[in-house]
Amino acid sequence: MSRGDSQPPDFAAAELARFSDRVGFLTLTGKEIKRFWSVLGQTVTAPVITALLYLLVFAQAMQGRAPVYPGVSYTAFLVPGLVMMTVIQNAFANSSSSLTQSKIMGNLVFLLMAPLGAWEWFAAYVVAALVRAALVATVMLTATLFFVRLPLHAPLALLAMFLLAGASLAVLGLIAGIVASKFDHLAAFTNFIITPLSFLSGVFYSVHALPRFWFLASHLNPFFYMIDGFRYGFFGQADVPILLSLAWVAGFLALVSAICLWMLMTGYKLRR
């Protein structure tokens, strides 16, 4: 975060050097984790129950249909998509709601006054969102053991996709929190961007079953690659090659990170 009207030429390097002491980063990370941990019923239990209801309804409705992938039941196909959709929504919600709440309640000024650099803000919010997403995913996968047992084909690809996708949505949530000045703005971001892209990303179906227009449109949706790559980690089967999915999500993370760090370093809509 900038601390004055003028910035030295090596401002980004100075911010990165400040991050290296880790004190501010660890403090803010702990604060963000405690924030969602104190209301686990809302931050973990509620999204898991919602995802399980989707699983019950769709698995029952689609029971007996031809499998999407050879040897993979529809219920098994559905679980990784629901888990990643829950990760996407919770990683976004954690960082966006925290920052927006701080702005509305007026306690953002205390963070602005603290000796925190842009990289510390960025990393703390991302790590806290990943912790929440990992907790939700673990509980969700554990609960689905009562319905289906999933194989584990490529654990490294699974972990890489989780980290890339969770970090991407945490950063996108930071951007939304910076831009939003009230909860209505944040709700619009969720309702018109996050939720539609989540449901149109192949959670409940293979994109190969879509008409050509929607099939091509799906390949422009970064959430599709997150879900498809995550599914590959379990089954070793996917609608697109895993390297393409990883490249797409890594590129998306790089783009939103660059935008977010610019906002934090310039104090965009935070200091004015």
Q: For 139-172, how does the pLDDT look when each residue is reduced to its tens digit (9 = 90+)? A: 999 999 888 889 999 999 999 999 999 999 999 9
pLDDT band for 42, please (50, 70, 90 cuts).
confident
**Predicted structure pTM score:** 0.88
- Structurally, the chain folds into a number of domains equal to 1
What is the pLDDT of the chain when averaged over all its residues?
A: 88
pLDDT for the residue 133: 96
Nearest-angstrom CA–CA distance, 176 and 186: 7
Establish if 218 belongs to a structural domain. yes
Nearest-angstrom CA–CA distance, 174 and 265: 13
Establish if 1 belongs to a structural domain. no
pLDDT for the residue 5: 46
Establish if 6 belongs to a structural domain. no
Tokens of 217: 């449109």
* Structural domain harbouring 115: 18-266
CB contact at 8 A, 97 and 176: no
Of residues 17 and 120, more confidently modeled: 120
Highest mean pLDDT of the ranges 63-67, 69-73, 237-241: 237-241
Establish if 7 belongs to a structural domain. no
Dihedral of alpha carbons 134, 139, 145, 147, sign: negative
Establish if 62 belongs to a structural domain. yes
Establish if 4 belongs to a structural domain. no
